[in-house]
Structure 1
Amino acid sequence: MNIAQSIQIFQQSIADYHITDDVDTPINNPYAKETIEHLLYLKNWVDTVQWHLEDIIRSPAIDPVEALALKRRIDASNQQRTDLVEYIDSWFLQQYASVTPKENATFNTESPAWAIDRLSILELKIYHMQIEADRAEASEEHRLNCSKKLQVLLTQREDLSTAIIQLLADFTNGNKYMKVYKQMKMYNDESLNPVLYNNK
């Protein structure tokens, strides 16, 4: 998998969302199902919608009933994000299924998909920080501060991309091995969340 291409897919998803800039816009994923590109576009689309839901729910003027509905929508989105990370990790697991780890192979604390999740969110930060750095009606101080933050984010993108490339190379060479762990989130499960199962 090409990390530069992954970033381009994230950028495409973000640009497509901002054509309408509406959290209820239906997704129009241009990539074929069952491909990693499809999963990456979908992952970033979910991240992008949730980014804007998080903005909306912080409005001081929001109606409490609307805020509760949004909170539940954000919870559902978080579950979808987690599920997609697990799907992407399963894809990676298949890619390296034929690799025999070396005797001294080590296990990485972060799976490839969770690193890519960070890269997807980072691309959103870069997009929105660029807007703030260019916002004409903002003060010069604001634009300057945002420009400095943007440079840090761009450096983070470079560093994270390099780290992911190195991690994937380690899997390919058998220097590291991976497992897929389910996150086992409990708050959405009626059989595990006591607030839910005690109120049936």
Structure 2
Amino acid sequence: MFTDKANAIFKEAIDIYHVINTVDQPFVNKYDKNEDVLGHLLYRKCWIDTVQWHYEDIIRDPQIDPVAALTLKRKIDASNQDRTDMVEYIDSYFLEKYKDVTVKEGATINTESPAWGVDRLSILALKVYHMQEEATREDASDAHRAACQTKLDVLLEQRVDLSTAIDNLLDDISKGYKYMKVYKQMKMYNDDELNPVLRNIKK
């Protein structure tokens, strides 16, 4: 199943990130895009999410220097753009894969594209990793570890459910019972012409 591969790659990316465990470490994709384009996309997607997860931790430090916080905010904005780009690349992969499928009469469209489901699956992998850390943290209280274990159990159940839903969606698309559309980015805040603040700076 597709999500077996995705979940394994997400775990690999998260584990490798945490060997050095710094947002400044260099990125090396473990998957050659010419040999495994899907693996290449999934690994890159999860790495972006993992770095951004830690950006979000850092920026919440109440003692952070305001100048450093602004610099970090710019990095988070850029990361969000990269994240959205990767979702579109993954959806483009699926569009190409299923381009010759004959859509059956009465076929329906899903509320989200397959890659946005993958986006949630990648974030869920990060939640599982970090909740597992908390559930086994030796310097935490028994009550803390127990509460986090309960949350971890829910996250693991959620991952099974989300994985099943994504696999079912892709199966339905492959058989023509569902079809997909990709609406390219309509973000306005990064566009010099659509964001009035940026537009006024240009004048």
* Structure 2 unaligned residues grouped into runs of 5+: none
Q: Return the alpha-carbon distance in structure 1 between the equivalents of residues 142 and 68 of structure 2.
A: 35
The CA deviation string for residues 90-132 of structure 1, in whole angstroms up to 9 with x for no partner, is 0000011010100110011110000000000000000000000
- 1:24 paired residue number: 24
Q: Secondary structure at the match of 1:199?
A: helix
Give the counterpart of 1:81 among 68, 80, 83.
83
Task: Determine the structure 1 residue equivalent to 2:9.
Answer: 9
2: distance between equivalents of 1:109 and 1:133?
34
Give the aligned residue type for 1:51.
W
Partner residue of 2:108?
A: 106
Partner of 1:96: 98
Aligned counterpart, 2:142: 140
Q: 1:160 — aligned with what?
A: 162
Q: Which residue of 1 aligns with 2:63?
A: 61
Q: TM-score, normalised by structure 1?
A: 0.98
Tell me, what secondary structure is at the counterpart of 2:85?
helix
1:33 corresponds to which residue? Answer: 33
TM-superposed CA distance for 1:183, in Å, is 2.3
Shift in Å at residue 157 of structure 1? Answer: 0.2
Aligned-residue CA RMSD in angstroms? Answer: 0.8
- Paired with 1:134 and 1:116, the residues of 2 have a C-alpha distance of 27
For 1:76 and 1:185, how far apart are their aligned partners in 2?
13
Aligned positions, number: 200
Q: Structure 1 regions of 5+ residues with no counterpart?
A: none
Distance 1:58 1:147 in 2: 24
Once the 2 structures are TM-superposed, how far is the Cα of residue 73 of structure 1 from its aligned partner?
0.5
Q: Quick check: 28-37 or 145-154, which moved more?
A: 28-37
Amino acid in structure 2 at the alignment position of 1:39: L
